[in-house]
Amino acid sequence: MARIVVDPITRIEGHLRIQAEVNGGQITDAWSSSTMFRGIEKILKGRDPRDAWYFTQRFCGVCTTVHSIASIRAVENALNIRVPLNAELIRNLIIGIQVVQDHVIHFYHLHALDWVDVVSALKADPTKTAALAASLSDWPLNSPTYFKSVQDKVAAFVKKGRLGPFGNAYWGHPAYKLPPEANLMATAHYLEALDWQREVIKIHAILGSKNPHPQTFLVGGMAIPVDPNSQNALNADKIAEIAQLLKKAKAFVEKVYIPDLLAVASFYKEWAGIGGGVGNYISYGEYPLDNSGKPEKLWFPQGIIVGKDLSRVYPIDQQKITESVAHSWYEGGDAGVHPWEEQTEVRYTGPTPPYDMIDTDKKYSWVKSPRYDGKPMETGPLATILVAYAAGHQGTKGAVELVLGKLGVGPEALFSTLGRTAARGIETLLVAQELPKWLDMLVANVAGGDLAIHNGEKWDPATWPRETAGYGWHNAPRGALGHWIRIRDQKIENYQAVVPSTWNASPRDEKGQRGPYEAALVGTPMADPNKPLEILRTIHSFDPCLACAVH
């Protein structure tokens, strides 16, 4: 038996460490740990609840909008505020383009190199690469000259001995399966996606004044006036610019990302039987289609799937969500606690760095262990797509069947590392195709004379009850994000976030149940424990963000 440590896991945000036991070429047990403390929940106590979004947005530099949305929804829930339809639709546009940009970045820049051997791309024939690309898509850039120029660029890196963004990887590892031409095609699109993502996120600059960390959120609505005829508002020119950027976003997803995903996945079908994990899934659903606040009005439905059973989607009861700190470096009892009651009080009992192993029988992470009704839950694009598919969501059903059909696998293939990566592509495609419709809804609503953007009825704290509590949910790129707030005497009494990567990266709970990363790694084959590429594949398929997870 070998014990291995991967620390830090790179190509993620924040600090994640995996300890694993390997027996006979397979992982037999694993522990997920974050070695970095944040503490922003503590900073919020005593502040004005209307300011909370501004602080929580700094949980993360990657999902830079999501903690504002969850925060303002939590305060609106506590104060029983309905926001105007224009504000809901603008929020949908901000959220949706974040998801699309984030998932493309994940596929190319954070995950592709687990499957694509960049150095092998040097051996490719650019003409054959162009023929391969043309067989998959009519994307205009895909020519022999273009692929040759990319190959020359990579060759120049290699010649200088400085691989730049491609440095320090396991090139030549036996688990890489793509032919050189597919490697060159994916490498070219890796570089192209860098430019594309910078362009499409300009929508945040238009609607939110900047990215990262857009600035136009407001409890009760948004701080961006809508008026087709004013230069100082979201007017017809700006709408036209957003429409162009959405077109650009959709084209790249349809013609580059999805064809690449299918092409790469077709060489790694054995990964449809690896990396399954806990088998329970939670999705908060997303994209309100009106301002009723009702879950049934969300475009992606919300719900829970238990034990990989796609015949039932359970509604979510927020009271059943708890966090345990049995194996996390915080004060607290053994049983999980609901976020309204929970505290974040540090009790570090870990080793003093530098260290080789963390004793995982004791506390071993700064991440807490969220549980639903006592069960570990996976969240993220796979959960979103499984819940929508099982709930009979039309667009999702069609897209899932198309992808499964192209790969020649059944729905059970979704419960895997490959399924997680495919589901992210499906979510991106569906959102990219839907975004222009939400823009059209906004334009139609404004054209009908509704210019309302903020509900100021409860803006004055004197109108608030002396004591209240609320929660705000958002389906972020990495999954189910919830913020819980208690307000007393117009100030924040307690604030707790239960974040997608907290669900997924969680250590064991008081019953010894593994978290999703830990469970997904069990059974993973390892060609060479000294080059743990397979661990990266499964962990990256979740798209971890440990800055968020610990917050």
For ligand NFC, the closer CB: 110 or 150: 110
3-class secondary-structure state, position 178: coil
For ligand NFC, the closer CB: 190 or 473: 473
For ligand NFC, the closer CB: 458 or 551: 551
| Interface positions with ligand NFC (CB under 6 A) | 13, 60, 62-63, 66, 476-478, 481, 499-501, 545, 547-548
SS (HEC) of 22-91: EECCEEEEEEEECCCCCCHHHHHCCCCHHHHHHHHHHHCCCCCCHHHHHHHHHHHHHHCCCCCHHHHHHH
Beta partners for residue 218, in sequence order = 221
Report, in Å, the least distance between residue 548 CB and ligand NFC: 3
What is the spatial distance between Cα 511 and Cα 369, in angstroms, rounded to a whole number? 11
Query: 56: exposed, middle or buried (C-beta count within 10 Å: 0-12, 13-18, 19+)?
Result: buried
Report, in Å, the least distance between residue 480 CB and ligand NFC: 9
What is the spatial distance between Cα 215 and Cα 65, in angstroms, rounded to a whole number? 9
3-class secondary-structure state, position 272: helix
Q: Which of these, 253, 242, 250, 112, lies nearest to 185 by C-alpha position?
A: 112
Report, in Å, the least distance between residue 159 CB and ligand NFC: 35
Report, in Å, the least distance between residue 380 CB and ligand NFC: 8
For ligand NFC, the closer CB: 64 or 324: 64
Q: Which of these, 50, 55, 11, 21, lies nearest to 166 by C-alpha position?
A: 11
CA 101 to chain CA centroid, nearest Å: 11
For ligand NFC, the closer CB: 12 or 182: 12
What is the spatial distance between Cα 395 and Cα 87, in angstroms, rounded to a whole number? 25
b vs e for 226-238, b when ≥16 Cβ sit within 10 Å of the residue's Cβ? beeeeeeebbeeb
For ligand NFC, the closer CB: 132 or 298: 298
For ligand NFC, the closer CB: 212 or 523: 212
Report, in Å, the least distance between residue 201 CB and ligand NFC: 14
Report, in Å, the least distance between residue 95 CB and ligand NFC: 11
For 470, the token pair is 């609320």
3-class secondary-structure state, position 407: helix
3-class secondary-structure state, position 281: strand
Write down the residue that tokens 């475009």 correspond to. Answer: 299
Report, in Å, the least distance between residue 374 CB and ligand NFC: 22
- Residue 221 Cα distances to 50, 89, 280, 342, 477, angstroms: 12, 10, 34, 29, 22
For ligand NFC, the closer CB: 478 or 508: 478
Length of the chain (residues): 551
- Residue 121 Cα distances to 145, 160, 267, angstroms: 15, 17, 16
Report, in Å, the least distance between residue 189 CB and ligand NFC: 22
For ligand NFC, the closer CB: 288 or 477: 477
- Backbone region of residue 496 per phi and psi (left: phi > 0; alpha: psi in -120 to 50; beta: other values): beta
3-class secondary-structure state, position 306: coil
For ligand NFC, the closer CB: 101 or 322: 101
Catalytic (active-site) positions: 13, 60, 63, 67, 478, 501, 545, 548
Q: Are 509 and 371 in contact (CB under 8 A)?
A: yes
b vs e for 314-328, b when ≥16 Cβ sit within 10 Å of the residue's Cβ? eebeeeebbbbbbbb
- Residue 487 Cα distances to 52, 337, 491, 542, angstroms: 11, 19, 6, 34
Report, in Å, the least distance between residue 338 CB and ligand NFC: 19
Task: For CA atoms 224, 228, 230, 234, give the dihedral sign.
Answer: positive
For ligand NFC, the closer CB: 113 or 547: 547
Q: Which of these, 194, 173, 175, lies nearest to 108 by C-alpha position?
A: 194
